[in-house]
């Protein structure tokens, strides 16, 4: 059985992530979406909320998909899941440079696991969770970047935390 891992913070999960999940699920027998915390980022949602959000969003996608939280090195997580493939989405050159370096480091940690890059659909390439949050914090409409339920969660969290900025 070919097992793949698609890791990310998914804070929040975007239509770009969903595109990579749909396509990645076709490449493996089982796709594990690994939801992690990036210590360099300040998440809007905690781990359990992000895991629940991702589970809800992928429920209708065809394929053997599982959502698992993790807080370890990606290669250790991939090993623990029995994965031989890591799926990564690429939006552009900047992503590629970062992912290229990360892949080289991961290869040093575990040469058994291959990284597969999927280019984001051209219509979804500009979408980044960080930008979605920034747009929402300034009162912008994010419906083109996330599903309605994720939009509601993001807007609600921003209001709850009093993060709304700009001229209101």
Q: Where are the domains of the chain?
A: 3-122
Q: Give the residue among 154, 31, 12 at the shortest CA–CA distance from 88.
A: 31
User: Contact, 135 vs 142, CB < 8 A?
Assistant: yes
Q: What's the confidence (pLDDT) of residue 167?
A: 62
Give pTM, 2 decimals. Answer: 0.94
Query: Would you state the structure tokens that stand for residue 48, as one six-digit string?
Result: 């359990």
Residue 166 has pLDDT above 90, yes or no: no
Question: What's the CATH number of domain 3-122, 3.40.50.620, 3.90.700.10, 3.90.45.10, 3.90.660.20?
Answer: 3.40.50.620
Q: What is the mean pLDDT of residues 98-123?
A: 94
As annotated, the active-site residues are 17, 41, 91, 129
Instruction: Say what percent of the chain tops pLDDT 90.
Output: 85
The residue behind tokens 């493996």 is 28
């Amino acid at each position: 059985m070919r097992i793949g891992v698609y890791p990310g913070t998914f804070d929040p999960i975007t239509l770009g992530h969903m595109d990579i999940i749909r396509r990645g699920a076709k490449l493996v027998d089982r796709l594990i979406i690994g939801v992690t915390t990036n210590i360099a980022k300040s998440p809007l949602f905690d781990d359990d909320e992000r895991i629940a959000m991702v589970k809800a969003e992928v429920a209708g996608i065809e394929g053997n998909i599982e959502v698992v939280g993790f807080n370890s090195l990606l290669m250790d997580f991939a090993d623990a899941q029995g994965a031989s493939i890591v799926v990564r989405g690429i939006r552009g050159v900047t992503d590629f440079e970062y992912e290229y370096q990360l892949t080289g480091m991961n290869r040093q940690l575990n040469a058994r696991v291959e990284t597969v890059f999927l280019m984001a659909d051209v219509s979804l390439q500009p979408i980044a969770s960080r930008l979605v949050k920034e747009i929402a914090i300034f009162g912008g409409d994010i419906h083109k970047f996330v599903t309605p339920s994720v939009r509601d969660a993001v807007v609600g969290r921003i209001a709850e935390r009093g993060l709304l900025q700009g001229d209101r």
